[in-house]
Chain A
Amino acid sequence: MILPNIEYATSEMFVAAAAMVLLMIGVFRGEGSFRLVSALSVLVLVAAAVITVWMSPGDSRSAFAGMFVSNGYTTFLKVGILLAAAVGIVLSIGYNAREGIDRFEYPVLIVLAALGMMVMVSASDLLSLYIGLELQSLSLYVVAAIRRDSVKSSEAGLKYFVLGALASGMLLFGASLVYGFSGTTAFTGLAAQLTGASAPSVGLVVGLVFVMVGLAFKVSAVPFHMWTPDVYEGAPTPVTAFFAAAPKLAAMGLFMSVLAGPFGGLVEQWSQIVIVLAIASMVLGAFAAIAQTNIKRLMAYSSIGHVGYALVGLAAGTEDGYSAVLIYMAIYLVMTLGAFAAILAMQRSGRMVEEIGDLTGLSRTNPMMAGMMLIFMFSMAGIPPLAGFYAKLYVFLAAVEAGLYFLAVIGMVTSVVGAYYYIRIVKVMYFDEPEDALDPRPGRDLGAIQFVAGMATLLFFLFPSLLVGAADTAVFSLTGG
């Protein structure tokens, strides 16, 4: 056989082919095919998730001459990415139609971005990693600027593009250094060289640092976060919702598989960097969010903070830590998508509003939405018994296990600072009297997504083992498989 094990890339091939078909449908049906293409895209993404689970090998299998790997870890991430992307498209349908950006390219671009993410988490070579990352990034640049006639949206797209290209350049430069000093770009080759080697060459470490800079940009860890608030605020809200979910999960998964896989032997070197990134992200995410009045900017800083917490698990550099990162990101994904579904439902006389003050008195005008938002906010603040608490519990357990007490204490204290701005939203919704009510029924799909995400967050404590078990299995194949 020319390409052995090619069947383990079935879901990628399926998504790639489907994206082309969707594009054709859009082209031939012309304008007005947005809803059809969106619906089909959601179907494609869900089908791809099913295929991924179905085709998942019990152990680790590589294909394409070692460029591509499929195992429990990649399956976990891909399912998360595909479902988050599907929800992202569902969130956008009503909004895009209303705001006049109902172009069929939009869902196709999201499908392509999802394909890029699938390739990058499955990459087992620095080159295939780069290809996947760029496919994802280029799709996202376009999506951020999809509203061409809006200055803010164009600015967001441009900013994201310029800074993203810089980060990609850094990553590529780092990859070339790594290649120059080790003679290989394959993950297995790098891992073999680095484990057991006495002292790693300085050039290799420098290369690693550049690769990490590129990846830190993608997860928007401080100090490579500057693009996040502007892009989050400028991009159309469904795009922001998408950015906050799937690409974050993919980038974090990639960050982890790169550090734990090929560079696993350099754990002492990179964990110092990750600790600094984690502390900076948690502190900035907590303090900078306090002053925000725009809820999308607030979510941007909140996401920076959450990345910081997830990095705490990575900094531990243990299997428990990696599994904690996966648990954290999965819970974060659900909370974020739910919160954005609520933000998208913030309309007044049919127009979108996005100031925190617009939520005033929501508990009286729309108790259901306020209740769900309450759950998301307390959960993000990490108050038990909501899901966000367990997410924090696991990452900090990993940190304490690794002896990183100071990191755990700093993280806990910043989570109290962070709680301030989350409960401020609760205060606006519950303590203040309503002035100018939001529209009562902003769409059944948004309500359904809020409800499902809210219940998952609220009732997580009943069945935590499902997620914990899945994350443990995934991490086992990352480190042991």
Chain B
Amino acid sequence: MESWPLLSIVTFAPLVGALLILVMVRGDREATDRNARWLALWASLATFLISLLIWINFETGTADFQFVEKAAWFKFPGGYTLNYHMGVDGISMMFVLLSTLLTPICILCSWEIKSRVREYMAAFLVLETFMVGTFCALDLVTFYVFFEGVLLPMFLIIGVWGGDRRVYSAFKFFLYTLLGSVLMLVAVMAIYFLSKSAGQGTTDIVELLKFARETGFSAEAQKWLWLAFFASFAVKVPMWPVHTWLPDAHVEAPTAGSVILAGVLLKMGGYGFLRFSLPLFPDASVYFAPLVYTLSIVAIIYTSLVALAQEDMKKLIAYSSVAHMGFVTLGIFAATAQLSAGNLPDNLLGEQAVSGAMFQMLSHGIVSAALFLCVGVVYDRLHTRRIDRYGGLVHRMPRYAAVFMVFTLASVGLPGTSGFVGEFLVLFGVFQVNVWAAALAATGVILGAAYMLWLYRRIIFGELVKPDLMRMKDLHPREVAIFAPLVILVLWMGIWPEPFLDVFDASVKNLLTSFKAGVCRANEACFAAR
């Protein structure tokens, strides 16, 4: 098993599926559509099974990268050979699983797509390759290729299969994220040349992490590099005020597009902060922590209020995503905020907060994806997303009401659901560091309960008076099959989160240790104390 290039297989299996669909599937329209659907489903399910295999063989006790693959790719100026380098640690492992889990669900929920089915399915499989690759890449350039490659299929998915204002949304999505990431590319190049001061420059993430622990970039360079990476990840997360592409993209994308967008694409930003910003630029992370804190808290409170005012279901959930991701960025930078006071305690807090942020990302990946699926269910039947067109659905669709209830409560953060664990850990960690920030963020939880429960009341409860709702049918078997694994996961993660926390525990500890070492190096007092 060790010798198999499992990560490459899991990354490129969907691409092979996409090629097969584009090349092999021929014949009349109906046969083409049917074959494309089934082929896409099998390809994505096979990918999911392989990723489960990786999870089973994954060793939780260590922070090392596992399933590592390395092959020379091409030459950089200065004689450095860039490697195609793949590997997973606890932080990326869960995101790989999240991507491979959501893709078959997306394909299932797009079963009724009518136009250009072949291209649609191929686009989703290509997207999966880029997503998985982003999380597995252990080289900055490889990472960048996957990270930005995501734009290609997503642009087409929004633009071709989206709603009325799809063109505007697709362009906004594309240009916003592109602008963020090209600045990161300049930083990647700068990293290559700056890390040269210690001999050979590198873009290898493992080497860079070692470099950051032992030598580190100068404080001045760190600030610029941090900002360039921040430009990219803040747009991806998205953080206030660069979040405006998200509601547009969510509203216009087809259901499956929203699911992937909320479920996986937003997590790339948080993953980037954890993988690059914190360990590579520790001083800058401390320096900019107040900025991140402020933006996160504004995001939590402001976008929650905006969500309260929405008339469109998808928009409401989109804004709630921004608010929930605010908790994530808050948690990620909790450890750095502690250090910004200038003290270097022996016991670096923030482990709970970072673990909480990780967990919150996983939970949000499933819950928000499921909420978009819930919207998709009624949208498929009534073709409107306006909240006031619904009401009293519980009378016609009891199963749907129950499922929607689970995810609404998970989004609110009710104990027993996955949402609770993440938010609690983040708030717990942040409270130890900064009471005010925790208190302000906690208001976001209350607001979250307000808009989600209100949404639920307006759609599900009340009298069933609207005539076109009378003919609504409850969830059919395919939809049950879509929701069942998600419901199980949300409850499992809420009741017994241990197996999930275990996966990234060692990696988070290691991250914070090397982060502290990085900050320590720049601080004279810290050296003296040792």
Which of A39-47, A167-175, A439-447, A463-471 lies on the face that meets chain B? A463-471
Contacting residues, chain A, for B78 (C-beta < 8 A): 320, 401
Interface flag for A416 (CB, 8 Å): yes
Known: A427-B159, A430-B156. Is A464-B189 also a contact (CB below 8 A)? no
B402 → A minimal CB distance (Å): 38
Task: Give A389 to B145 CA distance when docked, in angstroms.
Answer: 9
A413 at the interface (CB under 8 A from B): yes
A427 touches B77 (CB 8 A): no
Which of A363, A384, A390, A415 has the most chain B CB atoms inside 10 A of its CB? A384
A-B contact count (CB 8 A): 93
**CB within 8 Å of A: which of B64-83?**
73-78
User: Does A420 touch B at the CB level, under 8 Å?
Assistant: yes
- Asked whether any CB of chain B lies closer than 8 Å to the CB of A400, the reply is yes
Which chain B residues in 471-508 approach chain A with CB under 8 Å? none
B74 and A465 form a contact (CB under 8 A): yes
Q: Does B45 contact A (CB under 8 A)?
A: no
Of the stretches A52-60, A71-79, A404-412, the one at the interface is A404-412
**A397 CB, min distance to chain B CBs, angstroms:** 5
The reply to whether A430 and B159 form a contact with Cβ atoms under 8 Å apart is yes
Chain B residues with CB below 8 A from A397, complex form:
76-77, 189, 192
Instruction: Please judge, given known A-B contacts A416-B175, A419-B178, A431-B170, whether A464 and B73 are in contact too, CB under 8 Å.
Output: yes
User: Is B149 at the interface (CB under 8 A from chain A)?
Assistant: yes
Q: Is A396 an interface residue (CB 8 A)?
A: yes
Beyond A427-B170, A431-B159, whether A400 also contacts B193 by CB under 8 A is: yes
Identify the closest chain A residue to B155 (Cβ).
A423
For B, the interface residue count at a CB cutoff of 8 angstroms equals 36
Q: A400, B189: Cβ atoms under 8 Å?
A: yes
Smallest CB–CB gap between A430 and chain B, Å? 5
Bound form: Cα–Cα A408–B189 in Å: 10
From residue 307 to 352 of chain A, which have CB atoms closer than 8 A to chain B? 320, 323-324
Q: With an 8 A cutoff between CB atoms, is A398 at the interface? A: yes
- The answer to the question of B38 belonging to the interface, with a C-beta cut-off of 8 Å to chain A, is no
**For the complex, is B309 an interface residue (Cβ under 8 Å from A)?**
no
Q: Is the CB of B77 within 8 A of A416?
A: no
Is B179's CB under 8 angstroms from A416's CB?
A: yes
Q: Smallest distance from the beta carbon of B269 to chain A beta carbons, Å? A: 18
Chain A residues within an 8 Å CB radius of B178? 383, 416, 419
**Chief secondary structure at chain B's binding surface:** helix
Tell me if B74 and A468 are in contact (CB < 8 A): yes
Q: Is A385 an interface residue (CB 8 A)?
A: yes
Distance, CA A400 to CA B188, complexed state (A)? 10
Are B193's CB and A431's CB within 8 A?
no
- Tell me if A165 is interfacial: C-beta within 8 Å of chain B: no
With a cutoff of 8 Å between Cβ atoms, the chain A residues found around residue B74 in the complex are 390, 464-465, 468
What distance in Å separates the Cβ of A283 from its nearest Cβ neighbour in chain B? Answer: 15
Question: B75 near A423 (CB under 8 angstroms)?
Answer: no
Given A383-B149, A423-B171, A405 contacting B190 (CB threshold 8 A): yes
Contact B148 A383 (CB under 8 A): yes
Residues of B with C-beta under 8 A to A416: 175, 178-179, 182
Contact of B450 with A by CB under 8 A: no
| A413 proximity list for chain B (CB < 8 A) | 179, 182
B108 interfacial by beta-carbon distance below 8 Å:
no
List of B residues within 8 angstroms of A464 by Cβ: 73-74
Residue among A390, A397, A465 facing the most chain B CB atoms (10 A cut-off) = A397
- B144 pairs with A384, CB closer than 8 A: yes
Tell me which residues across on chain A come within 8 A of B152, comparing CB atoms: 378, 383
Most B CB contacts (10 A, CB to CB) among A385, A420, A464 go to A385
CB distance from B338 to the nearest CB of A (A): 32
Question: Is A419's CB under 8 angstroms from B175's CB?
Answer: yes
B residues 146-199 in Cβ contact with A at 8 Å: 146, 148-149, 151-152, 155-156, 159-160, 166-167, 170-171, 174-175, 178-179, 182-183, 185-186, 189-190, 192-193
Is A393's beta carbon under 8 Å from chain B?
yes
Q: Taking beta carbons and an 8 Å cutoff, which residues of B are in contact with A? A: 73-78, 116, 119, 141, 144-146, 148-149, 151-152, 155-156, 159-160, 166-167, 170-171, 174-175, 178-179, 182-183, 185-186, 189-190, 192-193
Chain A interface (Cβ within 8 Å of chain B)? 320, 323-324, 363-364, 378, 383-385, 389-390, 393-394, 396-398, 400-401, 405, 408-409, 412-413, 415-416, 419-420, 423, 426-427, 430-431, 461, 464-465, 468-469, 472
Which 10 residue pairs across A and B have the least CB separation, nearest first? A320-B77, A412-B182, A384-B145, A464-B74, A400-B189, A431-B159, A416-B179, A408-B186, A465-B74, A385-B145
7 A-B Cβ contacts within 8 A? A323-B77, A401-B77, A408-B186, A416-B175, A426-B156, A461-B145, A472-B75
Using A385-B149, A416-B179, A431-B170 as known contacts, list a sample of 8 further A-B pairs with CB atoms less than 8 Å apart, ordered by residue number in A. Answer: A383-B178, A389-B148, A393-B141, A393-B185, A394-B77, A405-B186, A426-B155, A469-B75
